[in-house]
Structure 1
Amino acid sequence: MGIKALLSQPLAQYIVNQQKIWMANSLQVQENWRQKLVHTSLKTKFGKDHFFKDIKNYSDFKEAVPIHDYEDLKGYIELLKAGEPDILWPGKPLYFAKTSGTTSGTKYIPITRDSISNHIDSARNAILNYVAETNNSAFLDKKLIFLSGSPTLTETGGILTGRLSGISNHHVPGYLKSNQLPSYTTNCIEDWEEKLEKIIDETLGQPMSLISGIPPWVQMYFDRIIARTGRPIKDVFPDFSLFIYGGVNFEPYRAKLYESIGKPIDSIELYPASEGFLAYQDMQNEPGMLLLLNTGIFFEFIPVENYYDEKPVRLSIEEVEIGKNYALIINSNAGLWGYSIGDTVKFVSKDPYRIVVTGRIKHFISAFGEHVIGEEIEKALQYAMSRQPGVEVVECTVAPMVTPSEGLPYHEWLIEYAREPEHPEQFAADLDRKLAELNTYYDDLITGSILKPLVIKKLRSNAFIDYMRSKGKLGGQNKVPRLSNDRAIADELIRIGGLA
């Protein structure tokens, strides 16, 4: 056993023992964080605007701090981008994590000196939990790959700015740097296909033991290796023993990924977001991920059915129930207050508090990590129709095509026209261009050759009506969602409605 593997075991046991302490006192830990967050932010602009000095308990907190999304906090973020200190959290952010927005385009999520450890230590602790549970640490002495975005950073108002994965790359512990692949130079390549070929060049022949990344990106990496070598991953990387993933629903990729690997392998699921590292899988044989209650975040939960109420029910960790869907709300030492990250979660355990991510509070597509929402679909459609004013669309829905029979994956638009575009190729190109403009992640996936431009499938007249009739939902307020993160609706529409 090498030195890194050997030293990791006592550290892993220490981390797990510390974790057990806060897990046994979860309710008090969360209340302590609520109080600390409020006290620390008393003199910030947000704290003054929301009368933090008058908050004495959780009830006061809910009265003082409304539920926010990025749009609601955008005014404060703009002050941060202009270089002003003490706005949402004392001082200035250490970084902005650049991520895809909705109505505002790109979002700039603050990461502070206090919150950076939430991102970095949580990723480390997920691995150490695995080491403590399985006693498998030999992988730490071999090569590790983290398929991520470019670590190249820019500046916004004097604050370093980049993708979360790129920011995190700058904080890989020194003792792992010598094991890490790809090289920094390769990791900075923006074009995904070019970068992927360089990564393969650097990893073939290396003792790869840990591979981490968003499943579709990892699958593409595996596909290219198999095409180049003619061998399954287990034969190319016989030391490969641990797969770490997060960012999208794993289930659509599971079968093909493990088929590509060619042998059973341990895995760790993570729940990272630009807004915070929220949970990780702490046990191999227990469902769900451990909610991280002691890393600078005070969590709240809104029952999904109450989310759009004028004054929605807000629950602390003490009040949640197993098996119920909640919209996840965070308050953090990054300066996010009453912040709805858009995800829905369900508790599978309360001792300890473990969750599964069940979806988004709104319809969405994120099969490849793009987080495309209905509003973006609507705006892209409106734009394309404005370019060809004669076009009339009866209805449309969008679904991912994850595993096409050939070529790259893509978004498939199923459209029923009342009047078709005179130039259908241009119509599709306009849709794609506008969607890329509205959604930074989608743009990255297209320009990086991870996705090909969207494909339109024209449906026959009355296809959507016939589909709704088949579901017993014709009429009233029922409608087909504009988009879905799987192909259940799309495939049924094609079967019932047929292609024109």
Structure 2
Amino acid sequence: MSLKSLGAKIFAKIVFNRIQKWATNPVETQQKVFEKLISEAKNTVLGKDHDFENITSFEDFAAKVPIRDYEELKPYVERVVSGEENILWPGKPLYFAKTSGTTSGAKYIPLTKESMPHHIEAARNAILCYIKETGKADFVDGKMIFLQGSPEMQEKNGIKVGRLSGIVAHYVPAYLQKNRLPSWETNCIEDWETKVDAIVEETKNENMSVISGIPSWVQMYFERLQKSSGKKVGDLFKNFNLFIYGGVNFEPYRAKFENLIGRKVDSIELFPASEGFFAFQDSQKEKGMLLLLNSGIFYEFVEATTFFDKNPKRLTIGEVEIGVNYVMIISTNAGLWAYNLGDTVQFTSTKPYRVIVSGRIKHFISAFGEHVIGKEVEEAMNKAISKFNFSITEFTVAPQITPSEENLPYHEWLVEFDNSPENLQKIAEFLDLEMQQQNSYYFDLIEGKVLQPLKITSLKKDSFQEFMKSEGKLGGQNKVPRLSNDRKIAVALIQIQPQN
């Protein structure tokens, strides 16, 4: 055992014990975070506009501060972007994480000197919890790769602007720098396909032990590694035993990954976003990710089924229940207040509080009142993959409201298989039954002959890559929505298929 891995084990135990202190006192921990946030921001423009001076309880806060998404918070953000101080948080932010918005182009998410350390600490602590639980630490001696956006930044009124993953690249600890790949020059390549090819060349002869990134883009890296070397990834990287990912559910990709690697590897799931680092998988044995209650973020939760009501009930951490689909609302030390992140979560445990990401409040199918969410289609697909022993590259689901020849409408599953199975109809029937079992609304619509059973459309190889490239969203932190309530993505995917 090297000194580095021994040191990692000792540090892992210290950090684990610190986590236990706040994780076993969740309500008290969140109350302290809440009070500190209100106190720090009471003299900001938003704090004065919403009478933070007289907020003494969560009930006061909920009465004075409405839930907002980015569009509704934008007037304040624009003042920060223009260079004004003390608008959402004292002073100016250190950075803006620039992300693509859905309705108004670019979004500028502030990162402050108070919030930035938590992004770094959370990623580190996820690895340390893994070391503490498993006792495995030898990987710290190998090379690590983090597939991410370019670290190059621009400047806007004295504030640096970049992608979150690129900003984080500037904070890699010194003790990891010599282990870290790719090189700075390669990381700065903007074109994703060119970048992946360069990463393959830089890494294929290295002792890679940890690989991290969004599964769909890591899969592209693995495929090109295999093509370049003629070897399985696990044979090429004999000490590769830990995959760290976030952004999407890994389960639909797992079979494909195991085939590309040639064996199983441990994995750690993260829940990061530009708005904050919310959770990480703290155990290989338990389902869900530990919600980070002591990281400068105060959480509220609204049941997804009531979210669009006029005055939905806003719950704090001590009021949530296991298995309920909640929209997660955050207030942070980066200056976001009662902010609708857009993600929905479900709690898998309350001792400690662990969550899974169940979908997006705007990513659902309810064209007929079925309220289908991402978690449901992913669970159905995972079971089908297990039962019929196939693997996929990617999939998405959309409603077909106006089918031809006066047939009943249906849900269309657009799937890019690695090798298209012969028994597509049986897989479709299985998926449909799984959806009926999970979703009573969907069951009623099928039983009532409002919908016909779902249909699978098999897509050619690289369809999703072509689609993302056409949207200017190839690589980085971009993800394909798992489902949509309209047919924009479905139509675009179908249009790039070979014409009969």
3-state SS in 1 of match to 2:105: coil
Taking the TM superposition and a 5 Å limit, the aligned residue runs for 1:158-237 are 158-237=158-237
After superposition, the C-alpha distances for 1:90-134 in whole angstroms (9 at most, x for unaligned) are 010111011111211110000000000121100000000001111
Within 1, Cα distance between the matches of 2:472 and 2:25?
A: 44
Q: Work out whether residues 258 and 264 of structure 2, in 8 Å CA contact, stay in contact via their aligned partners in 1.
A: yes
Amino acid at match of 1:62: A
Per the alignment, residue 381 of structure 1 pairs with none
Q: Which of 472, 482, 485 is the equivalent residue of 1:443?
A: 472
Q: Work out whether residues 401 and 410 of structure 1, in 8 Å CA contact, stay in contact via their aligned partners in 2.
A: no
3-state SS in 2 of match to 1:175: helix
TM-superposed CA distance for 1:401, in Å, is 4.6
> CA, structure 1 residues 12+137, in 2 after alignment: closer, same or farther (shift >3 Å)?
same
Amino acid at match of 2:45: K
Amino acid at match of 1:283: S
TM-superposed CA distance for 1:411, in Å, is 8.1
> CA, structure 1 residues 37+486, in 2 after alignment: closer, same or farther (shift >3 Å)?
farther
TM-score (structure 2 length as normaliser):
0.78
TM-superposed CA distance for 1:363, in Å, is 2.0
Q: Which of 471, 481, 487 is the equivalent residue of 2:485?
A: 481
3-state SS in 1 of match to 2:263: coil
Q: Work out whether residues 330 and 336 of structure 2, in 8 Å CA contact, stay in contact via their aligned partners in 1.
A: yes
> CA, structure 1 residues 356+485, in 2 after alignment: closer, same or farther (shift >3 Å)?
farther
TM-score (structure 1 length as normaliser):
0.78
Within 2, Cα distance between the matches of 1:28 and 1:483?
A: 46
Within 2, Cα distance between the matches of 1:156 and 1:194?
A: 28
TM-superposed CA distance for 1:43, in Å, is 0.4
Taking the TM superposition and a 5 Å limit, the aligned residue runs for 1:39-438 are 39-363=39-363, 401-403=415-417, 406-410=460-464
> CA, structure 1 residues 164+20, in 2 after alignment: closer, same or farther (shift >3 Å)?
same
Q: Work out whether residues 400 and 411 of structure 1, in 8 Å CA contact, stay in contact via their aligned partners in 2.
A: no
Within 2, Cα distance between the matches of 1:238 and 1:402?
A: 29
After superposition, the C-alpha distances for 1:236-287 in whole angstroms (9 at most, x for unaligned) are 0001010001111222211101111111111000000110000000000100
Ranges in structure 1 where 5+ consecutive residues have no aligned partner: 375-394, 413-431, 437-441, 453-479, 492-498
> CA, structure 1 residues 160+54, in 2 after alignment: closer, same or farther (shift >3 Å)?
same
Corresponding residue pairs, total: 415
3-state SS in 1 of match to 2:193: helix
Per the alignment, residue 466 of structure 1 pairs with none
> CA, structure 1 residues 186+398, in 2 after alignment: closer, same or farther (shift >3 Å)?
farther
Within 1, Cα distance between the matches of 2:150 and 2:107?
A: 18
> CA, structure 1 residues 317+483, in 2 after alignment: closer, same or farther (shift >3 Å)?
farther
3-state SS in 1 of match to 2:474: helix
TM-superposed CA distance for 1:204, in Å, is 1.2
TM-superposed CA distance for 1:481, in Å, is 2.5
Within 2, Cα distance between the matches of 1:337 and 1:483?
A: 33
> CA, structure 1 residues 483+35, in 2 after alignment: closer, same or farther (shift >3 Å)?
farther
Taking the TM superposition and a 5 Å limit, the aligned residue runs for 1:13-28 are 13-28=13-28
Amino acid at match of 1:124: R
3-state SS in 1 of match to 2:109: strand
Per the alignment, residue 469 of structure 1 pairs with none
Within 2, Cα distance between the matches of 1:305 and 1:200?
A: 45
Ranges in structure 2 where 5+ consecutive residues have no aligned partner: 366-373, 379-391, 399-408, 420-459
> CA, structure 1 residues 120+484, in 2 after alignment: closer, same or farther (shift >3 Å)?
farther
Per the alignment, residue 382 of structure 2 pairs with none
Q: Work out whether residues 397 and 411 of structure 2, in 8 Å CA contact, stay in contact via their aligned partners in 1.
A: no
Within 2, Cα distance between the matches of 1:293 and 1:169?
A: 24
Within 2, Cα distance between the matches of 1:411 and 1:190?
A: 16
